[in-house]
Each structure stands twice: as C-alpha cells, then as structure tokens.
Amino acid sequence: MDSKGTKMKLEAGKYYITRDGRKVGPMNPYNSWRGLHPWQCGRLLWSADGISYEGRQPEQDIIAEWKDETLKKEEPTLSGETLDRLAIDSLKWHYKDKEDMEPLQQEAFRIVMRYYGVPL
C-alpha cells in the first residue's frame, strides 16, 4: 500500500521507497512459488502490491514510487554575514604568513581587513 492507503502496483525497472525510507530498485520480475511474491530487488521479495515477503518485515513494505524529487533537500544558502565571517577567517589565515607576501599583496590584505573592521 502506498502512503495514501491505496494499493501499489509495482512495475519492472522502477524504483520505490520502503516504509523505513530506503530507496529500492530497480524492480525485477521474480518467479516465486505460487506467484505470491512476483517482485525482487537484490535478495528482497515483494507481493504485487508492495508488501514485503510474507509481511514479516513491515519496515520493508513499499509505500511509494521513487521520484528524483522525493527526497531532494533544500540547498543551503549562505547569508551575507556568513560570507563575511568566512572572508575574515580566510584573510586572518592568509595574513599570518605575511612574510611570504609581496608588498602589494600585504597592502591589499590590509585594505580588505580594514574594510571588515579586523584589527591588524
């Protein structure tokens, strides 16, 4: 059964989500005894409506077809403040080895650090 309570209909080559959130597939037809479990992925078997082998492992029941968007996470965004802090940390890290810098690089770092209000 899917998450809405309607019966699933598994299809060859498709991917599905189990009750415990795993992606399984691609589904392959399986010639089981009496045709009770006609679908297989790896060593796992399912009935035609997505119930795991003999219903003994309900966490492996299939609840929905896998869509690439199914578990897509929102991309993290960086705020201006976060970017500023990253820039400051990077500047401090680079500036501690100022002996290896050219005079023009040192002056550029001093200007940028002053802009961010970082004491030298």
Residue ranges of domains in the chain: 16-65, 80-115
Residue in 62, 67, 50 with CA at minimum distance from that of residue 17: 62
pLDDT in tens, 55-93: 677 888 888 888 876 455 566 666 777 777 777 777 777
Crossing angle (nearest 10°) for helices 80-95 and 103-115: 150
Q: Is the bond into 26 cis (omega within 30 degrees of 0)?
A: yes
Write down the pTM of the prediction. 0.50
